[in-house]
């Protein structure tokens, strides 16, 4: 005879747990150099794949399309355009944000890739795809070698 | 192939490279939290542990006792037929004297984790800890008895048994 | 030449927002027991191999396949896990049967989404640790950005997207297994809480629990074991660029390429004509439109209009997500793809109850891996 | 059944901590594997990824993240997973990708970056065991191996000193491996005197945690014959998973490995593996495991593996070398990547390309095996020329 199923809510009881480890990530060969450049020199670098005629931002040591090694690095102007964006009203904990955050993918001229970051100094309803923006770095003394060394991107005043 | 390649890729780092911040690193706390449904089998298993009893189930087809209690027999692939209450005594199937914790940290006092065959189950073992004995005197085949936590401290968990001690 | 492969058994538990009466193991067992009964097979004797589709952190257990073999009758047999969408499991079984090594195979996937208490962190944990994670945004911003670009490129409107939520939730009212059926209006969607502009609360699917098991067999076995085999005539899967920076934001390239592979295997030249209905990923309302275009089930840029005309309604010319889709049924973590296949099988068998479509012969199921992934799979099933 | 060959292989160094990201490691190994058989990414029809729990790299759905490094851009890409058995399973999976007739060239990439998991990669394992009845005890990975080793020694009357010789042999073999993390000339006394971690397991019985990647290229018969005159054929595959309830079975013998091995031998038409297998790479995350697994692989009777070891028959120059690569104990244990490294080793050995590690006498048949989960998984592949 099969056993009785759980038939009353009072019989149910969850068991709680979590994942008691955390991550520590190196930046990799390309990432190390990319973020050192941002931190120390305040500039964005890209890596070129001559075979595919692509310039990667963020730079990599390999081309994802042809698998060639990317040895040539070049400086990228810190002005780009909004490729796409969203206005986020919820934070990571799911709480409503008092001030919504505009998150965008900023693409640079002639570049394969771009950077995901927030937009600043702009009203959310004024943002549009194709808008020209420029990178705003934190002051050099506050930069640690992180994507957060970029404070935000802001619209370029025409 | 091994002969042809002169330089094998890979850039090894030492612990110092990170401690002394010679290279960039970033950290992330995953913050993943769960509340897993215990369901029928483990629900009852835990409820009985709270009462100071070990419960298993029996499959009438293969006649095996299933422990920890579960509602289907993985071997016959059918629902089981009855709950069976087992003794809180057993025999050490195998054991270790462990000087390391879960994250390889070193322990001053060793723990004695063991698989213990529970009496009445025909040799089915559960995982638990042995105590109240010099670790180097533990033997496979040794008889042990459960030491239960005081009733008010039990929460319906495998740790309601504090440990097992030699009989 | 490929061997013919058929679905010969299906089993599933009800799809509900929570399921506290069963542990995940008991849920897997229930779905498996039903599938084996439906196929008339004994897993211990008749099934040659098993595949389960589960991702570690979704379920809160690393190496999740530790916990799988007992629950589906696979102890001491060939069983492996794909940490992937469950449609990949179907494709995997299709391959294994095609080698000739395996004749009968079971595919399993389940969701215990309700047991995962911090789903935003779960998706955030899948992002690039150097370039994206430190930003600490709610990961669903990715859906907002994708919807934004898709609307921009294809001229789709928010109203057209809202129509998908309305349609799928209404379809779900006729599906006894669906957890999120409702009568809502486009205005309800548009006025629902703004989450990640242009994405509103009712553009987003909600999670559900449930288990699904399917039994697949080669032609010889299928004909002996089953009087209503549903043939898997094509499978395809594909990964596009995973990084947010280099991926395509408007077009669902992974779906296009997976679709092309499946059509090639199925010998389908004109998908819009040769496929009768589809269950495509609709984790977010716009995703259904984006996927229909990628799968060439409508002309490029026409998906929004198709929704407006009602062509993808249950009574329309090309019904989409008759089951209710993820918006109506609930999103079943990795099991979502198998839920799509399940609906296609039920429809082709003529067992879809009140929502049964008349005269359908070929159906398509498609899945997407979920935020922040950029990959997915397709299966095409046929009555003949 | 369609014939499938391994045609190329590549790997990175195995390291305690790599500076490369997981993607970069994957690319380094995959690029080398393709170069080795003079193929490009364009020639690859599909990609299989082997990587063990996400808790190591600490990235959820890490196969998605790794995909571009593995060469999966706009390709069919699938990740197979059987815990520590993954490394050999993905080779099996690549076999069936090609044997199914759907693809002609399959790239397999196995990657692990365990150093990303803090406070220690071992901590990841506490998230593996049964969350209800096992992990709450503070269960450590080493307990399981200690239990199994104790049971194995007790069942057969084997001593710790005898088992220590596996570490001595494998770490020595690894001296000849250019990618090895822990090659060393050590003695049985060194092992016996090393720190007791979880008796009977001592520090030098244990393989290290590693970062690294390995890649293989699988091809259909037609393609293989076109691009190489030295294809190594996949002759048999097997994989098997036992019950998760560890107390329900006896740890002294890995039945699941035997079942997987029988599947592979049946397929390969091997009747007497002791005589027909020239080299073996049983999985050796712990010293006793090599012996335990060799028994499961039917390379000797139960409890007899230690005799072959002590007699020197499993040395690189012996009758049937085990772990000529140096194994997990010597080369390093980047979980999934290590299993695939073992397949790569058999590939190189059968082609006579293993350099200083080359086993004499032109071996013709080899078996690689991996193990995993909660003492549950056996994955086996038989290769031959």
pLDDT tens per residue, range A102-114: 999 999 999 999 9
Give the other-Cβ count within 10 Å of C286's Cβ: 28
- CB distance from C136 to chain A under 8 Å? yes
Residue D201: pLDDT over 60: yes
**pLDDT tops 90 at residue B102:** no
pLDDT of the residue at D270: 98
Percent of chain C surpassing pLDDT 70? 100
pLDDT at B3: 63
Q: Which of C27, C29, C118 sits opposite B32 (nearest CB)?
A: C118
B28, B36, B76: residue with CB nearest C129:
B28
Torsion angles phi and psi, residue A127, rounded to 5? -80, 140
Cα–Cα dist B42/A75, whole Å: 60
Residue in chain A closest to B25 (alpha carbons) equals A26
pLDDT at A158 over 70: no
Q: Where are the domains of chain B?
A: 39-166
DSSP assignment letter at D261: H
Q: CB contact, 8 Å: A3 with chain B?
A: yes
Beta strands per DSSP E along chain D: 4-11, 46-50, 77-80, 105-113, 117-118, 196-199, 201-202, 211-220, 232-241, 279-281, 365-372, 377-384
Full domain range(s) for residue A110: 22-155
Q: What is the mean pLDDT of chain D?
A: 97
On the question of pLDDT at C147 being above 70, the answer is yes
Cα–Cα distance measured from residue D337 to residue B94, given in angstroms and rounded to the nearest whole number:
31
Q: How many CB atoms lie within 10 A of CB A17?
A: 20
Residues of A in contact with B156 (CB under 8 A): 13
| Token pair 């035997």 in the structure block, residue | D258
**In this structure, what token pair is assigned to residue C216?**
């697949």
Q: Which helix (H) or strand (E) holds C260?
A: helix C253-266
Q: Chain C neighbours among B 55-114 (CB < 8 Å)? A: 70-72, 74-77
Contact assignment for B23 to A21 by CB distance below 8 Å: no
The predicted-structure confidence for D18-29, as pLDDT tens digits, reads as follows 999 999 999 999
Structure tokens at C349: 């068998």
ipTM above 0.90, yes or no: yes
For residue B113, give the nearest of D11, D143, D196 by CB distance: D143
Contact D92, D239 (CB under 8 A): yes
- Find chain C residues with C-beta within 8 A of A89's C-beta: 193-197
User: A106 and A123 in contact (C-beta within 8 Å)?
Assistant: no
CB contact under 8 A, B33 and A36: no
Contact at CB, C238 and D77, closer than 8 angstroms: yes
Mean pLDDT rounded to a whole number for chain A: 96
Judge whether residue D325 has pLDDT over 80.
yes
Partner D contacted by C333 (CB < 8 A): no
* DSSP per-residue codes, D40-102: -GGG--EEEEE---HHHHT-TTHHHHHTTTTT-TTB-EEEEBBTBTHHHHHHHHHHHHHHTTS
* Averaged confidence pLDDT in chain C: 97
User: Contact partners of B by the rule of 3+ C-beta pairs under 8 A?
Assistant: A, C, D
Question: Are residues C20 and A112, on separate chains, in Cβ contact within 8 Å?
Answer: no
Q: How far apart are CA B105 and CA B110, in angstroms?
A: 12
How does pLDDT run across C64-94, given as a tens digit for each residue? Answer: 999 999 999 999 999 999 999 999 999 999 9
Instruction: For domain D4-118+208-384, give the fold.
Output: Peroxisomal Thiolase; Chain A, domain 1 (3.40.47)
pLDDT in tens, C113-125: 999 999 999 999 9
DSSP annotation of C314 reads T
In the three-class reduction of DSSP (H, G, I as helix; E, B as strand; rest coil), residue D160 is classed as helix
pLDDT at C300: 86
* D55 closest CB neighbour out of A19, A24, A64: A19
Sign of torsion, CA D351 D354 D360 D363?
Answer: negative
Q: Each residue of D43-96: pLDDT tens digit? A: 999 999 999 999 999 999 999 999 999 999 999 999 999 999 999 999 999 999
CA distance C25 to C64: 12
Question: Could you give the maximum distance between any two Cα atoms of chain B, in Å?
Answer: 69
3-state secondary structure chain B: CCCCCCCCCCCECCHHHHHCCCCCEEEECCCCEEEEECHHHHHHHHHHHHCCCEEEEECCCCCCEECCCCCEECCCCEECCEEEEECCEEEEEEECEEEECCCCCEEEEEEEEEEEEECCCCCCEEEEEECCCCHHHCCCCCEEEEEECCHHHCCCCHHHEEEEEEC
pLDDT of C255 > 80? The answer is: yes
Once rounded to an integer, what is the mean pLDDT over residues D268-286?
Answer: 98
Sorting pLDDT into bands at 50, 70 and 90, what band is A3?
A: confident
pLDDT above 90 (res A157): no
User: Taking CB atoms and an 8 Å cutoff, what residues of chain B touch C36?
Assistant: 77
Query: What are C34-54's pLDDT values in tens digits?
Result: 999 999 999 999 999 999 999
Q: What are phi and psi of B93, to 5 degrees?
A: -85, -45
Contact B37 C25 (CB under 8 A): no
In sequence order, the 6+-apart residues with CB closer than 8 A to the CB of D286 are D145, D149, D201, D205, D206, D207
Residue D198 has its nearest CB partner, among B68, B100, B129, at B100
Among left, alpha and beta (phi > 0; psi -120 to 50; other), residue D292 is alpha
Q: Chain A contact for B84, CB < 8 A?
A: no
- CA distances to B7, B96, D223 from D285, rounded to whole Å, are 26, 18, 35
Residues of C with CB under 8 A from a CB of B: 19-27, 29, 32-33, 36, 42-44, 57, 60, 69-71, 73, 75, 112, 114-118, 121-122, 125, 129-130, 133-134
Name the pLDDT band for C218 (thresholds 50, 70, 90): very high
pTM for the model stands at 0.97
Residue A44 lies in a domain: yes
Q: Does A19 touch chain D (CB under 8 A)?
A: yes
pLDDT band (50, 70, 90) for residue A63: very high
Element (H, E) at C279: strand C277-279
Region C133-140 average pLDDT: 98
Cβ contact B74–D136 (<8 Å) = no
The total of structural domains in chain A comes to: 1
Residues of B in contact with D20 (CB under 8 A): 9-11
Interface test with B, best of C17, C21, C24, C25 (most B CBs within 10 A): C25
Packing angle of the helix pair D287-296, D160-173 (nearest 10 deg): 90
Question: C20 and A147: CB-CB below 8 Å?
Answer: no
Say which CATH number the domain at A32 has.
2.40.50.140
**Considering the domain boundaries, does residue A150 fall inside one?**
yes
Residues of chain D with pLDDT > 70, as a percent, come to 100
Residue B6 pLDDT > 90: no
The minimal CB distance from A14 to the residues B27, B35, B57 is found for B35
pLDDT band at B2 (very low <50, low <70, confident <90, very high): low
In total, chain A counts a number of residues equal to 158
- Beta-carbon separation of C83 and D68 below 8 A: no
Half-sphere exposure of C160 (CA within 13 A, CB side): 23
Choose among B26, B32, B34: nearest Cβ to C130.
B26
Name the residue among C66, C95, C241 with its Cβ closest to that of D376. C66
CB contact under 8 A, A113 and C245: yes
Q: Residue D213 above 70 pLDDT?
A: yes
- When pLDDT is cut at 50, 70 and 90, the band that residue B1 belongs to is low
Residue C364 and residue C379: Cα distance in Å, rounded?
A: 6
pLDDT digits (tens, 9 = 90+) for A77-91: 999 999 999 999 999
Nearest to C22 among B26, B33, B37 (CB): B37
CB contact under 8 Å between A21 and B103, yes or no, is: yes
Q: Binning pLDDT at 50, 70 and 90, where does residue D328 land? A: very high
Report which of C284, C255, C221, C248 is spatially closest to residue C379, judged by C-alpha positions. C255
- Indicate if the pLDDT at residue C179 is higher than 90: yes
Residues contacting residue D226 through CB under 8 Å, at least 6 positions apart: none
Q: Which of D26, D75, D116 to mutate to test the interface with A (most CBs of A within 10 A)?
A: D116
Q: The tokens 């409890």 sit on which residue?
A: D303
Does residue A65 lie within any of the structural domains? Answer: yes
pLDDT at A2: 73
Task: Indicate yes or no: CB of D82 within 8 angstroms of CB of C240.
Answer: no
Cis ω on the peptide bond leading into residue C372 (within 30° of 0)? yes
In D, residues 185-204, which contact A (CB 8 Å cutoff)?
none
- Chains near A with 3+ CB pairs less than 8 A apart are B, C, D
Q: How many CB pairs under 8 A join A and B?
A: 86
Residues 8-67 of B with CB under 8 A from A: 11, 13, 18, 23-40, 42-43, 46-47, 57
Q: What are phi and psi of D44, to 5 degrees?
A: -85, 125
Q: Tell me if chain B has a CB within 8 Å of the CB of D352.
A: no
Å between B127 CA and nearest CA of chain C: 16
CB contact under 8 A, C23 and B42: yes
CATH numbers and ranges of domains, chain C: 5-117+207-225 (3.40.47.10)
Q: How close D196 comes to chain C (CA, Å)?
A: 27
How far is residue C311's CA from residue C2's CA, in Å, rounded to a whole number? 34
Nearest residue of chain B to residue A39 (CA atoms): B24
Q: How far is the alpha carbon of A15 from chain D, nearest alpha carbon, in Å?
A: 7
């Amino acid at each position: 005879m099969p056993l009785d199923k759980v038939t009353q809510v009072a019989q149910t009881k969850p068991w709680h747990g979590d994942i008691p480890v955390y991550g520590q990530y190196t930046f990799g060969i390309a990432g190390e150099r990319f973020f050192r450049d941002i931190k120390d020199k305040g500039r964005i670098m890209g890596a070129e794949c001559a075979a595919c005629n692509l310039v990667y931002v963020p730079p990599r040591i390999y081309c994802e399309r042809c698998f060639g090694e990317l040895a040539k690095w070049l400086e990228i102007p810190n002005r780009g355009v909004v490729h796409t964006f969203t206005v986020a009203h919820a934070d990571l904990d799911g709480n409503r944000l008092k001030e919504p955050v505009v998150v965008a993918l900023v693409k640079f001229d002639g570049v394969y890739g771009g950077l995901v970051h927030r937009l600043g100094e702009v009203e959310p309803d004024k943002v549009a795809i194709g808008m020209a923006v420029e990178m705003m770095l934190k002051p050099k003394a506050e930069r640690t070698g992180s994507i957060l060394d970029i404070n935000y991107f802001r619209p370029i005043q025409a | 192939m091994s002969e042809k390649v002169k330089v094998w890729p890979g850039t090894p780092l030492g612990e110092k490279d990170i401690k002394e911040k010679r290279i960039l690193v970033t950290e992330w706390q995953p913050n993943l939290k769960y509340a897993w449904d215990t369901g029928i089998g483990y629900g009852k298993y835990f409820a009985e542990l709270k009462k100071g009893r070990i419960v298993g189930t029996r499959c009438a087809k293969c006649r095996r006792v299933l422990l920890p209690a579960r509602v289907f027999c993985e071997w016959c692939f059918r629902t089981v037929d009855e709950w069976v209450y087992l003794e809180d005594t057993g025999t050490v199937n195998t054991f270790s004297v462990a000087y390391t914790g879960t994250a390889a940290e070193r322990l001053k006092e060793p723990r004695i984790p063991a698989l213990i065959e529970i009496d009445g189950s025909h040799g089915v073992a559960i995982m638990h800890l042995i105590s109240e004995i010099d670790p180097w005197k533990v033997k496979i085949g040794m008889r042990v008895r459960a030491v239960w936590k005081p009733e008010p401290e039990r929460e319906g968990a495998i740790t309601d048994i504090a440990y097992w001690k030699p009989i | 030449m490929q061997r013919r492969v058929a679905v010969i058994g299906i089993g599933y538990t009800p799809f509900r927002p929570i399921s506290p009466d069963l542990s995940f193991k008991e849920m897997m067992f229930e779905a498996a027991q039903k599938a084996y009964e439906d196929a008339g097979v004994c897993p211990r004797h008749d099934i040659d191999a098993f595949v389960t589709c589960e991702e570690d952190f979704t379920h809160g257990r690393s190496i999740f396949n530790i916990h799988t073999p007992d629950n589906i009758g696979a102890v001491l047999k060939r069983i492996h896990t794909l940490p992937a969408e469950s449609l990949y499991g179907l494709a995997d079984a299709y391959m294994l049967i095609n080698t000739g090594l395996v004749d009968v195979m079971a595919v399993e996937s389940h969701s215990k989404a309700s047991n995962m208490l911090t789903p935003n962190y779960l998706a955030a944990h899948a992002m690039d640790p150097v370039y994206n994670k430190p930003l600490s945004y709610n990961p669903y911003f990715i859906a907002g950005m994708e919807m934004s670009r898709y609307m921009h490129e294809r001229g789709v409107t928010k109203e057209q997207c809202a129509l998908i939520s309305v349609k799928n939730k209404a379809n779900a009212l006729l599906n006894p297994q669906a957890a999120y059926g409702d009568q809502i209006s486009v205005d309800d969607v548009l006025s629902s809480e703004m989450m990640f502009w242009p994405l509103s609360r009712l553009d987003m699917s909600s999670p559900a629990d449930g288990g699904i098991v399917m039994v697949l067999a080669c032609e010889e076995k299928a004909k002996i074991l089953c009087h209503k085999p549903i043939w898997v005539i094509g499978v395809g899967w594909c990964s596009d660029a995973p990084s947010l920076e280099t991926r395509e934001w408007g077009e669902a390239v992974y779906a296009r390429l997976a679709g092309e592979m499946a059509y090639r295997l199925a010998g389908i030249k004109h998908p819009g004509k040769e496929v009768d209905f589809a269950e495509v990923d609709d984790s977010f309302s716009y995703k259904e439109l984006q996927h229909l275009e990628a799968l060439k089930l409508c002309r490029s840029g026409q998906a929004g209009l198709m929704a407006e005309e009602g062509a993808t309604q249950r009574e329309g010319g090309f019904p989409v997500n008759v089951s209710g889709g993820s918006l109506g049924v609930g999103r079943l973590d990795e099991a979502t793809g198998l839920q799509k296949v399940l609906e296609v099988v039920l429809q082709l068998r003529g067992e879809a109850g009140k929502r049964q479509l008349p005269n359908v012969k070929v159906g398509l199921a498609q899945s997407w891996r979920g935020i922040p992934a950029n990959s997915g799979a397709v299966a095409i099933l046929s009555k003949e | 059944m369609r014939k499938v060959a391994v045609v190329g292989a590549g790997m990175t160094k195995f390291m305690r901590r790599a500076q490369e990201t997981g993607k970069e490691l994957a690319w380094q190994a995959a690029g080398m594997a393709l170069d080795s058989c003079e193929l490009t990414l364009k020639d690859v029809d599909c990609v299989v990824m082997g990587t063990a729990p996400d808790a190591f790299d600490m990235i959820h759905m890490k196969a998605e993240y790794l995909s571009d490094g593995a060469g999966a851009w706009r390709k069919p890409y699938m990740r197979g997973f059987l815990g520590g058995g993954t490394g050999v399973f993905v080779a099996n999976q690549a076999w069936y990708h090609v044997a199914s007739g759907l693809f002609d060239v399959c790239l397999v990439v196995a990657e692990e970056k365990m150093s990303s998991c803090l406070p220690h990669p071992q901590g990841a394992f506490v998230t593996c065991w049964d969350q209800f009845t096992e992990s709450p005890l503070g269960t450590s990975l080493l307990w399981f191996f200690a239990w199994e080793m104790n049971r194995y020694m007790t069942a057969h009357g084997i001593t710790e000193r005898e088992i220590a010789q596996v570490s001595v042999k494998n770490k020595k073999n690894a001296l000849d491996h250019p990618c090895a993390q822990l090659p060393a000339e050590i003695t049985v006394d060194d092992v016996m005197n090393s720190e007791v971690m979880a008796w009977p397991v001592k520090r030098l019985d244990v393989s290290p945690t590693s970062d690294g990647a390995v890649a293989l290229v699988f091809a259909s018969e037609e393609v293989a014959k076109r691009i190489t005159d030295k294809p190594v054929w996949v002759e048999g595959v097997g994989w098997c998973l036992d019950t998760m309830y560890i107390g329900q079975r006896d740890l002294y013998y890995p039945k699941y490995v035997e079942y997987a091995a029988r599947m592979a031998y049946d397929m390969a038409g091997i009747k007497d593996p002791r005589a027909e297998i020239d080299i073996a790479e049983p999985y050796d995350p712990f010293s006793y495991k090599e012996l335990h697994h060799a028994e499961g692989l039917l390379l000797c009777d139960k409890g007899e593996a230690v005799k072959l070891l002590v007699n020197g028959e499993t040395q690189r120059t012996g009758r049937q070398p085990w772990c000529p690569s140096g194994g997990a104990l010597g080369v390093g244990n980047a979980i999934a990547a290590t299993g695939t490294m073992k397949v790569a080793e058999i590939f190189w050995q059968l082609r006579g390309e293993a350099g200083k590690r080359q086993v004499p006498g032109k071996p013709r048949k080899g078996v690689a095996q991996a193990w995993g989960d909660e003492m549950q998984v056996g994955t086996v592949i038989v290769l031959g020329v």
